[in-house]
């Protein structure tokens, strides 16, 4: 494909605008109406808490059912996203940029002193646009930070399913594509089964909402995490049975570490006396968990995330470095984020953090880093 043709495909159309708008409208309505467990968020500096309706799984299953019904009745084509991927990418990027500008303007004009909405303006325009100036901005009662990450994860699944439909339509469904799709479905469904754990992550409790999170949730997650599916749609990769089984076990180990570490942290925050692997937790300074996965590495959840990212790319074999963009990027991102986390924790916990580092010397990779 030449550059002119590529640029033509990137031009947004009214169809892509309608698709994106309908998707967001559905998520807003479903998130507000459908039943779900209401989970209290972390206590904010002013003592207040936000409450999150965790009905993402119900919303996702209903959406997939409606789309399946639409495809069955020929109301819509299941391959429509695969056919309009690039213009949906550019449309979502433009939307993310506009949202960032609106968030900045609304934040600057906010007179609220609450922890959620108090503006934090540094005076550096680029910094404030990138990191945001409000912690939990809302729109018609919807917490936008929680909404956007939900939209990104669902968008990833919809892209993958459309790519799968295109592969089936072309009569070219391979073992590689099947493995990749299986991993995506399991990972995303698991995310929504445990959606309440998201409420205790650093992004939700500490990061302000700016372009970094808006772009990361709406553009980066769905369109970058699905690169392997796009690659397999255009390249025939044959895996041996041994390679497929090895790939599956890497996914399984990554999942166990990622989900186990996040679950342990979430449960510890809810109940500091909850047993970890059948034993009372080891706690440093009454605040920092040093048991279970968190006694192996200070950011063991990142290790699980990296193994999962690798497992998504391995079905592509060694055909090209392109399908490995996601795990390579994630490695760089998580090392950068780990450094930021370490600096913040050192400032917040001081001597307690120093003791935790002594007990758990490894950052992400035990005995390596």
In this prediction, residue 278 carries a pLDDT of 81
List own/partner pairs for 2-9 with CB under 8 A and 24 or more apart: 6/86, 9/86, 9/87
pTM given for the model: 0.85
* pLDDT in the model for residue 6: 63
Mapping DSSP onto H, E and C, the string for the chain reads: CCHHHHHHHHCCCHHHHHHHHHHHHHHHHHHHHCCCEEEECCCCCCCCCCEEEECHHHHHHHHHHHHHHHHHCCCCCCCHHHHCHHHHHHHHHHHHHHHHHHHHHHHHCCCCCCCCCCCCCCCCHHHHHHHCCCCCCEECCEEHHHHHHHHHHHHHHHHHHHHHHHHHHCCCCCHHHHHHHHHHHHHHHHHHHCHHHHHHCHHHHCCCCCHHHHHHHHHHHHHHCCHHHHHHHHCCCCCCHHHHHHHHHHHHHHHHHHHHHHHHHHHHHHCCCCCECCECCCEECCCEECCHHHHCCCCHHHHHHHHHHHHHHHHHCCCCCHHHHHHHHHHHHHHHHHHHHHHHHHHHHCHHHHHHHHHCCCCCCCCCC
pLDDT attached to residue 280: 86
Looking at residue 5, what is its pLDDT? 66
Residue-level pLDDT, tens digit, the chain, 369 residues: 566 666 667 787 888 899 999 999 999 999 999 999 998 888 888 878 889 999 999 999 999 999 999 989 988 899 999 988 889 999 999 999 999 999 999 999 887 888 888 888 888 999 999 999 999 999 988 999 999 999 999 999 999 999 999 999 988 888 999 999 999 999 999 999 989 888 878 788 888 999 999 999 999 999 999 999 999 988 888 888 899 999 999 999 999 999 899 888 878 877 888 888 888 888 887 788 888 888 899 888 899 999 999 999 999 988 789 999 989 988 998 898 888 888 888 888 888 888 889 888 989 888 888
**Amino acid 7: pLDDT:** 65
What's the confidence (pLDDT) of residue 92? 95
């Amino acid at each position: 494909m030449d550059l002119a043709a590529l640029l033509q495909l990137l031009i947004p159309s009214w169809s892509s605008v309608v698709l994106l708008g309908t998707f967001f409208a559905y998520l807003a309505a479903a998130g507000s109406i459908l039943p779900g467990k209401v989970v209290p968020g972390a206590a904010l500096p002013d003592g207040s808490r936000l409450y999150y309706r965790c009905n993402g799984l119900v919303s996702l299953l209903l959406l997939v059912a409606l789309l399946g019904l639409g495809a069955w009745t020929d109301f819509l084509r299941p391959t429509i996203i695969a056919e309009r991927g690039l213009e949906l990418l550019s449309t979502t990027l433009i939307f993310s940029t506009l949202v960032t500008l609106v968030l900045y303007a609304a934040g600057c004009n906010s007179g609220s002193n609450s922890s959620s909405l108090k503006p934090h303006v540094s005076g550096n325009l680029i910094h404030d646009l990138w990191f945001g100036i409000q912690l939990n901005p809302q729109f018609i009662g919807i917490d936008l930070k929680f909404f956007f990450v939900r939209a990104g994860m669902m968008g990833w699944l919809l892209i993958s399913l459309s790519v799968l439909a295109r592969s089936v339509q072309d009569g070219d469904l391979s073992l590689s594509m099947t493995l990749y799709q299986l991993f995506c479905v399991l990972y995303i469904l698991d995310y929504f089964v445990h959606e309440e754990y998201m409420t205790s992550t650093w992004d939700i409790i500490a990061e302000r909402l700016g372009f970094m999170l808006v772009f990361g949730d709406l553009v980066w997650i769905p369109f970058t995490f699905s690169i392997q599916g796009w690659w397999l749609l255009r390249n025939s990769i044959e895996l041996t049975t041994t390679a497929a089984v090895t790939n599956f076990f890497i996914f399984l180990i990554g999942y166990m570490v990622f989900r186990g570490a996040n679950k342990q942290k979430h449960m510890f925050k809810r109940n500091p006396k909850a047993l970890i692997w059948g034993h009372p937790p080891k706690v440093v300074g009454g605040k920092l968990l040093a048991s279970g996965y968190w006694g192996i590495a200070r950011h063991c959840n990142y290790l699980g995330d990296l193994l999962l990212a690798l497992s998504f790319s391995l079905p592509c074999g060694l055909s090209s470095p392109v399908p490995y963009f996601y795990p390579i990027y994630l490695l760089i991102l998580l090392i950068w984020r780990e450094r930021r986390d370490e600096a913040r924790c050192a400032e917040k916990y001081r001597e307690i953090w120093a003791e935790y580092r002594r007990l758990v010397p490894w950052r992400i990779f035990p005995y390596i880093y």
